[in-house]
Structure formats: structure tokens, C-alpha cells
Amino acid sequence: MKTIRKKIGLLIAPIFFLSFTGNKYNLTFNDFDKNNDNLINEKEFVEVFTNNFYADWDMVDDEYLDDEDFHIVSYAIWDSDDDNLINEDEWIYGYENYYGDYIDSEFVAVDTDADGFINYDEYYSIIHDTDFYTTWDANDNAILSENEFAEKVFHTWDDNNTGYMTKNEYEDFDMFYFDI
């Protein structure tokens, strides 16, 4: 089973989120499972995901997803109490489950102003020069296309690498994306 750390992003990504609170789309497993075979294949997932979520990641509203968008949304995801700051517990959660493979920094090292929180500038200064974003950018053009992004999200949540998302895998995805 893949570690949660690989689920960024999307962080997946990653990553995965500001406007997803409460599943505003009311999407269910059946909305993704277009052929009703009780599995979501990559094509089904990509279609529904891109139609419903890709634009939510475009924080700069420039009609493409670049590293700036990716990092802004990723930061917001880990700011679970929505105070626009990452406290030590939020940092530890994100570090242990998402970006720990990309950086080697303790909370106090990132909190450069020593106020007990990591603001976006502190976060960005440590994460920007890593390959956290580039691991999502499969064609290395500095932009995540709709399909590129959705495919990476799909493979992140296809825990057993079967090429299909089961109901259990979907429930994990649903809980993460829709309950943030």
C-alpha cells in the first residue's frame, strides 16, 4: 500500500481543496463509475475530476495550473484550521504524510521569524526549490494540464496500482478531498 505521503499533493497535489469543503458537488462513487462496474477506471476518474476540480486549483485564474497555484493550494490544505498559518501540528502532519520526502527541515528551521507559525512565505521558501511540484509535472513543461493533474491524482489514490479505484479507495479519496 502506498504511504499517505504519496497522496499529496495531489497533493497530491499535490496537494487536494479550498473550495471542496463539504463536497459542494455532492459527487458519489457512482458519479465517477460511469459504466457501473463498481470500479472507477482512469478515464472515468479523469473526466469527472477535470470537469469538477481542476479549475479550483487555478488560484491565480490564468487558465493553467503552475507551481504557484500548486503551492498555494497545498499550503491551504495543510492549514487545517484555516487561519492562514501552519502551526507545528499541521506542519508535522504535512511533513510526515506529504512533503517529508522532499525537504529535511524541522518546524523551527522553517519558522524563520520564530512566531510559532509558518506563514506562506516561509513555506514557499522551503518547498519551492524542491521537486515536490515537478514530480507531478510529467511532461516537464512547468504546467499541469487537466489530464496530467487528474491522472496523477488518480494514480495517487489507486493504492493497489490496479488501474482501477475501488469503493474503498474512492472513500479514502472522498474523505480527503471533501472533508478538508
What's the rounded mean pLDDT across residues 61-82?
A: 84
**Any residues with CB less than 8 A from the CB of 165 and at least 6 apart, and which?**
32, 39, 40, 41, 45, 154, 157, 158, 173
pLDDT above 90 (res 76): no
Closest CA to 153 of 35, 84, 80, 56: 56
Q: What is the pLDDT of residues 21-40, one digit of tens each?
A: 444 568 899 999 999 999 99
What is the pLDDT averaged over residues 97-102?
75
Task: Reply yes or no on whether the pLDDT at 66 is more than 50.
Answer: yes
How much of the chain exceeds pLDDT 90, in percent?
A: 37
The predicted pLDDT at position 176 comes to 66
Give the residue extent of every domain in the chain: 4-178
Q: What is the pTM of this model?
A: 0.71
Single out the residue of 72, 100, 70 nearest to residue 84, CA to CA.
72
- Number of neighbours of residue 82 by Cβ within 10 angstroms: 10
The neighbouring-strand residues paired with 41 are: 164
SS3 56: helix
CA dist 26 and 134 (Å) reads: 31
pLDDT digits (tens, 9 = 90+) for 4-13: 334 433 343 3
- For the record, the C-alpha cell of 174 comes out as 472522498
**Average pLDDT in the chain:** 81
